[in-house]
Amino acid sequence: MKKVRVRYAPSPTGLLHIGNARSALFNYLFAEHFNGDFIIRIEDTDVLRNVEGGEESQLKYLKWLGLDWKESPDKGGKYGPYRQLERLDLYQKYANELLDKGLAYKEYREDSDKFAIRFKVPENVTYAFDDIVRGTLKFESKEVEDWIIMKDNGIPTYNFAVVIDDHLMDISHVLRGEEHITNTPKQLMVYDAFGWERPLFGHMTIIVNEERKKLSKRDKNVIQFISEYEEAGYLPEAMFNFIALLGWSPTGEEEILNQEEIIKMFDPQRLSKSPAMFDKAKLAFINSRYIKKLSDEEVAAKAKKYFDKAGINIKSNEWLIKLVSLLKDRMSFIGEIITLYNNFFHNDFRINNEALNALIENDSLEMLNVFLADIKALSVFTEENIQNLIKETGKKTNVKGKALFMPVRIATTGDLHGPSLPVTIELLGKDIVVDRLTKTIATLKGEIK
């Protein structure tokens, strides 16, 4: 079998978004699975649309996702250069060869000596290829008009340059989005015109949103760019896992898979023929699973920058680690800790009807009065001392178990259920806890409606 060589060839016209990231990732998986080479080539001939820093951003966030490559503009390689604007002489050479063979012709601009070069489409030819994803696809040459391969400014068109590059770089397989299917017959014409071996093509299905509409950069309901996921606190390992599932399915039921497992399992025969749905809930679930695998210390280290950005003072690193231990299981991305923190420490303390009824049913007023007095007298406000104080309150009032812990939780947090109560109370701090207990007792007495 010919050595597998695949490429990801972005235009530096913008930031790395989900669709491009998936194309790059599937090519990477294909190369790694078959012990081949994954290369990056920059298609920068659309000069007017190129964005400053576009190339650097693409490479930065591919690396962030966990991809690596053998050859690229930043690494070099024997098939370079890897930017199309540095290869213009090659395209001109092959365009001239087609002119010499009578397979292309010049088209002069009116009243000018400048000309474009058009490819002469053969008559009555069927162009067929076996698509890795979709099976046999056929096109008739009569459906394609003579098309420009070189513009009059000396820059090649996409369908011409891509063939020259893929051939000279010895690309064996071309995996790309289905929007390129209609480009394929033009590219096959060029391969055949030069008598070159065609690569194998595979066209991945589109990504759709939850309304089953094609994912668009204008869709504000889905975060589009990989940089935004990094900024929000999604983990690169989780993003790699999630993107791999956009149009590919592993064997078995388990979908939480690390990079090594996905590479080993990756089979192009399992690429989907149906559109891949971008499921935000699935992404949140996968990312939360990866967060739970981290230690509290690791999450705290990642979370610190979000507190700094929000202008929230962290009492100590130990305090932050304890806060993480409470909130980690609720987080679907690291930056969400700020929302959870604000919900946790909110000043608008209210007890809903269900929680209030639970306090009334448990006849909790006397016990909460005792607990409030004990809390006020507590000089060292630590988890251990709070734990002992709750037990002492239970002994004094002859209340234990759920009838003790649930009312204390409701009176201090407003919730019926939650994480470790002593840790929660310690993190809230004495002033907030005293204030909330006072308000709860006043409500039970009917002083607050």
Helices (H), strands (E): how many in the chain?
18, 11
Q: Pinpoint the alpha helices (H) of 278-352.
A: 280-293, 296-310, 317-327, 337-344
Q: What is the separation, in whole angstroms, between the first and last Cα of the chain?
A: 79
| DSSP, res 197 | P
Distances (CA, A) of 411 to 7, 80, 146, 416: 60, 68, 78, 9
Residues 383-391: contacts with CB under 8 Å, at least 24 apart:
383/322, 383/420, 383/422, 383/423, 383/426, 384/422, 386/421, 386/422, 386/425, 386/426, 387/422, 390/421, 390/422
Question: What would the DSSP string read from start to end of 327-344?
Answer: HGGG-SSGGGHHHHHHHH
Q: Tell me if the bond preceding 236 is cis, omega within 30° of 0.
A: no
What's the full length of the chain, in residues?
Answer: 449
Quote the longest CA-to-CA distance of the chain. Answer: 103
> What Cα–Cα distance (Å) separates residue 389 from each residue in 302, 323, 325, 380?
34, 21, 22, 11
- So which residues are the catalytic ones? 217
Query: Alpha-carbon distance 29 to 260, whole Å?
Result: 10
Q: Are 411 and 436 in contact (CB under 8 A)?
A: yes
